[in-house]
């Protein structure tokens, strides 16, 4: 698979995930986290065609028939250009366009201003991880109920902790007086690293904290890695933060997702 966004996604399925290649799509399953929308999906060879929703939903239902906790539909693919997804969006699907940004070792740009009030270190204690989980809950996407979000984030935490124990990477926090104000993970396979769940508390944004955090993590990662990958919403302000650090768009991803709140 050439798309480094999906290729590095698969790092997080090696432990307990299942990836099945079929002629028209991959079936990506996370039996240990069935409520993870982008951990249980069909990765299509091409963008869905107009009026193909029902057929794709039937294929999804068949693929996940043995995972009764899966209550969503998610379809992903590479960049497609201008397609008609009105049949999906009219049914409540969210259409998302993502940039797959790649940074090579020699391309990292030091920011003109670093936030020196934060202390950056890996999450270590259970108290650290509890702060991280609380941050994710507080800053979760609008429309996601706490009832549905809690099982997902608890399972994600356990998965990241397993990777840390296997020396596959770390989750890093930016702390001010032991308060976690931002966090991001960096995990790897071979010489490629993949960032995960970059998040800053709303009340601490626009202070250079995210920029400083990603820069310092990148420096740490480049001690052993050759390139780093981060995937970001094309319409989200953080995209500019990453680009100013030297990340360049190399691939694109799109998705359609439907879930019950």
- CATH code where residue 238 lies: 3.40.630.30
- 21's enclosing H/E stretch is strand 18-21
Residues 131, 46 share a domain: no
Instruction: Specify the pLDDT at position 145.
Output: 86
The closest alpha carbon to 220, from 169, 162, 157, belongs to 169
Residues 197, 127 share a domain: yes
Domain that holds residue 47: 4-98
CA–CA gap between residue 259 and residue 34 (Å, rounded): 13
The closest alpha carbon to 4, from 188, 259, 238, belongs to 188
- Two tokens at 3? 């798309």
Residues 119, 94 share a domain: no
Residue 52 belongs to some domain of the structure: yes
Residue 187 belongs to some domain of the structure: yes
Residues 67, 147 share a domain: no
pLDDT per residue as tens digits for the range 3-28 = 899 999 989 888 778 999 999 999 99
Q: Show which of 66, 98, 130 is a domain's final residue.
A: 98
Residues 143, 80 share a domain: no
pLDDT per residue as tens digits for the range 108-122 = 999 999 999 999 999
Residue 145 belongs to some domain of the structure: yes
Instruction: Specify the pLDDT at position 15.
Output: 75
Residues 75, 22 share a domain: yes
Residues 219, 125 share a domain: yes
Our count of domains for the chain comes to 2
Q: Show which of 82, 98, 114 is a domain's final residue.
A: 98
Residue 256 belongs to some domain of the structure: no
The alpha-helical segments, DSSP class H, found in 84-187 are 86-89, 126-138, 146-165
pLDDT per residue as tens digits for the range 50-74 = 889 999 999 999 999 999 999 999 9
Instruction: Specify the pLDDT at position 82.
Output: 67
Residue whose structure tokens are 């003109």: 112
Instruction: Specify the pLDDT at position 66.
Output: 94
Instruction: Specify the pLDDT at position 1.
Output: 66
Residue whose structure tokens are 């302000």: 237
pTM of the prediction? 0.92
Residues 85, 139 share a domain: no
Buried b / exposed e across 64-102, counting CB within 10 Å, b at 16+?
beeeeebebbbbbbbeeeeeebeebeeeebeebebbbbb
Instruction: Specify the pLDDT at position 77.
Output: 95
Residues 18, 145 share a domain: no
Q: Which residues in the chain show pLDDT less than 50?
A: none
Residues 212, 127 share a domain: yes
CA–CA gap between residue 66 and residue 48 (Å, rounded): 24
């Amino acid at each position: 698979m050439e798309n480094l966004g999906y290729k590095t996604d698969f790092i997080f399925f090696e432990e307990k995930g299942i990836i099945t290649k079929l002629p028209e799509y991959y079936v990506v399953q996370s039996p240990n986290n069935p409520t993870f929308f982008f951990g249980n999906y069909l990765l299509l060879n091409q963008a869905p065609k107009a009026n193909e929703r029902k057929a794709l939903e039937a294929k999804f239902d068949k693929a996940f028939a043995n995972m009764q906790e899966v209550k969503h539909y998610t379809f992903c693919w590479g960049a497609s250009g201008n397609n008609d997804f009105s049949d999906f969006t009219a049914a409540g699907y969210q259409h998302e366009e993502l940039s797959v940004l790649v940074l090579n070792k020699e391309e990292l740009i030091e920011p003109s201003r670093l936030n020196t009030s934060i202390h950056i270190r890996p999450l270590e204690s259970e108290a650290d991880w509890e702060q991280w989980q609380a941050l994710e809950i507080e800053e979760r996407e609008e429309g996601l109920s706490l009832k549905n979000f809690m099982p997902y984030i608890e399972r994600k935490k356990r998965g990241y902790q397993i990777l840390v124990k296997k020396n596959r990477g770390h989750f890093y926090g930016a702390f001010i007086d032991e308060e976690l104000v931002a966090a991001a993970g960096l995990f790897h396979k071979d010489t490629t690293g993949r960032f995960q769940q970059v998040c800053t508390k709303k009340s601490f944004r626009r202070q250079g904290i995210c920029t400083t955090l990603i820069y310092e993590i990148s420096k740490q990662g480049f001690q052993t890695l050759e390139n780093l990958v981060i995937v970001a919403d094309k319409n989200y302000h953080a995209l500019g933060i990453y680009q100013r650090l030297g990340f360049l768009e190399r691939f694109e991803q799109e998705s359609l997702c439907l879930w019950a709140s």
